[in-house]
Amino acid sequence: MRTRPTLSWTPDEDLPPGSLDPGPVADALSAGGVLVLSGAGISTESGIPDYRGEGGSLSRHTPMTYQDFTGSARARRRYWARSHLGWRVFGRARPNAGHRAVAAFERHGLLSGVITQNVDGLHQAAGSEDVVELHGSLDRVVCLSCGVLGPRRELARRLEEANAGFEPVAAGINPDGDADLTDEQVGDFRVVLCAVCGGILKPDVVFFGETVPPRRVEHCRTLVRAADSLLVLGSSLTVMSGLRFVRQAAQDGKPVLIVNRDPTRGDRHARTRVALPLGTALATVAARLDIPVDDPGPLPPRG
């Protein structure tokens, strides 16, 4: 039986209110050994909307599922048309103060690692090096037949050639890089196949309804075991792929701290939830720790 993935969460219990004091986050970082778990909320200040916050994309957009993508040529045409257009915007996104703060904390030896649920590559663009991309990256594409990986920029070039003049105006962009297009705008968009074997190409990301590779999950569990505390940044923790690490840390008696403006599914496991915008909260923390958060300036093209 095919089931739809969990896309929303409503609290069924009274949760503690959020705090406006980022002091506990500063204290945890000053002690070191902090493992960061980031979600879509850390990228909103880079122009990429989140899924579930105020104005989140789920209010207007149902993400593509793995089952739909693999089971329907029409669904793949719709996905690649929207993703191709969205990549033009998504690929130009640049790290914000939140990403730069995380990179600065890493440079100063305060972090044990970063696990991100995002597929935008902005942590690495900001200078973070020890990053696990839990859900993969839109910078890469993979063939579902032969498994070959390739850069997104090469696929973008091939799609441009196959769809000359494709210039619809999208209503918006989503956290998965998917632009909002109507079926009429998608039209007869041409999908290209693997240049090696002719198989179906898919972005190297974990779609809704798809499982995270077990070895990647176990690597993340190892990082949680080795950390002294877990700091969640910009995630509602609605889906189990991220929530399981919060539960693991709490079960191991390790402090869990969350920075997210809205309540999260992990709040009952957390020592505190700081209900401030991430850029504001992390810039304040960095200032308290006397850590400069530098703007890296112009960055090379991505993907």
Sign of the CA dihedral running 69, 70, 74, 77? positive
Query: Which residues carry out catalysis?
Result: 135
Residue 220 annotated as binding site = no
Q: Is 58 annotated as a binding residue?
A: yes
Residue 41 annotated as lining a ligand binding site: yes
Does 35 appear as a known binding residue? no
Is 128 annotated as contributing to ligand binding? no
* Residue 30 assigned to a binding site: no
C-alpha Rg value of the chain to the nearest Å: 19
Q: Strands 131-133, 111-116: parallel, antiparallel or unpaired by DSSP?
A: parallel
| 194 annotated as ligand-binding | yes
Integer Cα distance of 231 and 234 in angstroms: 10
**39 among the known binding-site residues?**
yes
Closest CA to 39 of 119, 96, 150, 113: 119
Confirm whether residue 266 is marked as ligand binding.
no
What are the strands, taking DSSP E only, across the chain?
A: 34-38, 111-116, 131-133, 136-143, 149-151, 201-205, 229-233, 256-259, 272-274
DSSP, collapsed to helix, strand or coil, labels residue 86 as helix
Q: Is residue 242 part of an annotated ligand binding site? A: no
Residue from 10, 284, 303 nearest 157 by CA = 303
Is 297 among the annotated ligand-binding positions? no
**Tokens 């994309």 correspond to what residue?**
57
User: Is the CA virtual torsion 243, 245, 250, 251 positive or negative?
Assistant: positive
Question: Is 243 marked as a binding-site residue?
Answer: no
- From residue 200, how far is each of 64, 108, 147, 257, 259 by CA, in Å? 16, 43, 10, 41, 39
CA angle 142, 146, 148 (to 5 degrees): 40
Residues of each annotated binding site: 39-59, 117-120, 143, 146, 194, 197, 234-236, 278
Residues of each annotated binding site for Zn(2+): 143, 146, 194, 197
Residues of each annotated binding site for NAD(+): 39-59, 117-120, 234-236, 278
